[in-house]
Amino acid sequence: MIELEIQGLSEHRESLLIEVGRLVIASGFTLQRQRLVQDHHGILLTMVVRGPFLKKWALAAALDGCERFISVKVARFVEGEPKPHFAASPKRVAPAIPPPTPVAAVVSPARDDHGTLAEPVATSAMTAAPESPREPPAEPEFEFIQPTPRASAPAASIPVSAPFVEPAPLKADEVVVDKMVRELEYDYPQIVPKLLALQHSVAEAARESSLALAGRRTGAWVFGREYALDAGLDLREAIERIGVPALRALVEVDQQGTQLHIHESLLCTEDGHSGCHFFSGFLEGLLEPAIAPGSLSIFAVCCRSYGADECVLAISD
């Protein structure tokens, strides 16, 4: 298996994650994380995907042929080495302008008749002028007052966004997750406030992994409590009989084949902070015992936190 980082530049963000996600799934890869950023050049998409090594060329070819991209690059993902997006606008720094150098005025002294230098003598600019005859007072003239033109407003400065750098992910905070799981017996299914608190109580780089771990342990706990007798099912049957009913205790969800459409998720409201990692982990912990010894893969096709109308999870075996 290999992890790849996809960086793409697109004009519009509508349905971008859905279309790219379908290409990723069709190429045999699964999504690890994703991000959309608005930039002066357009929409910057960053995805980290995982899949078979031999299929990376097929994925690259599919992405090159995607009409949604102005430009796209695929490179091997290295953990702990954040890579700026290739299309991100660089920071602009205005050059410093040095102040003008003052120039001293040089006054040449005058010479007298004998050729010696004489001290400069200040002469009065006022000379006696003959008195002019008095004139009768002139008629007052009309004074036209011209309106003072308003100064034009300064041009609005265009903010320059810093290049996007993906932070290196950290392992899940098991202490915080264990505390939440111990309280499931008393809080379930009203656990959304606990999950919101969990997101803000762990380090930002450990948020996704902590949500996924909390989801897996919650799903396993729900399976053991309510569905322990439902084993040996195929994937579609497990989704219908276990996955959808269990998820509906937490959120509003609709099933479309092997895709689950989650509506109005309270965990996915902040821009770029997806809570779908919890739902993916929840389904893993819930469905894996039901389809054992089979396995499953869950791919977050799109999420409200990245601008989609709803969150969509695609489940495959």
- CATH of residue 25's domain is 3.30.70.260
Axis-axis angle for helices 207-226, 276-291 (nearest 10): 40
Per-residue pLDDT, 109: 55
- Flag whether pLDDT at 25 surpasses 50: yes
Last residue of a domain, one of 90, 122, 153: 90
Interatomic CA distance for residues 42 and 12, integer angstroms: 7
Q: Answer whether residue 6 is part of any domain.
A: yes
Whether the predicted pLDDT of 162 surpasses 70: no
Among residues 90, 110, 125, the one where a domain terminates is 90
> Could you tell me the pLDDT band of residue 251, with boundaries at 50, 70 and 90?
very high
Sign of the CA dihedral with 215 first, then 167, 270, and 316 last: negative
- Determine the pLDDT at residue 279: 96
Residue-level pLDDT at 218: 96
Domains of the chain: total: 2
**Residues 85 and 189 both lie in one domain:** no
Q: Which residues of 153-181 are buried (b: 16+ CB within 10 A; e: fewer)?
A: eeeeeeeebebbebeebeebbeebbeebb
Provide the 8-state DSSP code for 293: T
- Within a domain: 125: no
- The residue whose two tokens read 């997806």 is 274
pLDDT in the model for residue 129: 46
Q: In this predicted structure, what is the pLDDT of residue 113?
A: 54
- CATH number of residue 192's parent domain: 3.30.1380
- Write out pLDDT tens, residues 194-240: 999 998 899 989 999 999 999 999 999 999 999 998 888 999 999 99
Looking at every residue in the chain, the average pLDDT score rounds to 81
Paired tokens of 238: 């497990």
Question: Does the CA dihedral 212-252-302-257 come out positive or negative?
Answer: positive
Q: Are residues 183 and 77 in the same domain?
A: no
Is residue 199 included in any domain, yes or no?
A: yes
Q: What is the pLDDT of residue 131?
A: 56
Residue 96 lies in a domain: no
Whole-angstrom CA distances from 117 to 81, 107, 124, 240 are 77, 13, 21, 111
pLDDT at 125: 43
Share of the chain above pLDDT 90, in %: 38
Question: For residues 289 and 221, is the Cβ–Cβ distance under 8 A?
Answer: no
- 71-76, Cβ contacts within 8 angstroms, sequence gap of 24 or more: 71/8, 71/9, 72/6, 72/7, 72/8, 72/9, 73/6, 73/7, 73/8, 74/4, 74/5, 74/6, 74/7, 75/4, 75/5, 75/7, 76/2, 76/3, 76/4, 76/5
Domain end point (choices 90, 113, 147): 90
pLDDT exceeds cutoff 50 at 104: yes
- The residue with tokens 């799903």 is 219
Taking the model in full, what pTM does it have?
A: 0.54
Domain that holds residue 264: 169-317
Token pair listed for 256:
């479309």
Which amino acid, 63?
A: L
Does the residue 81 lie in any domain? yes
| Start-to-end CA span in the chain (Å) | 16
Are 74 and 179 found together in one domain?
no
Confidence check: pLDDT of 43 > 70: yes
Rounded mean pLDDT, 189-195: 92
Q: What is the pLDDT of residues 117-147, one digit of tens each?
A: 555 544 444 444 455 556 656 555 545 455 5
Concatenate the DSSP letters of all residues of 192-241 into one string. HHHHHHHHHHS-GGGHHHHHHHHHHHHHHHHHHHH-TT--S--HHHHIII
User: Do 308 and 190 have their domain in common?
Assistant: yes
Residue 120 lies in a domain: no
Q: Is residue 138 part of a domain?
A: no
Position 50 scores a pLDDT of 87
Query: Predicted confidence band at 84 (pLDDT cuts at 50, 70, 90)?
Result: confident
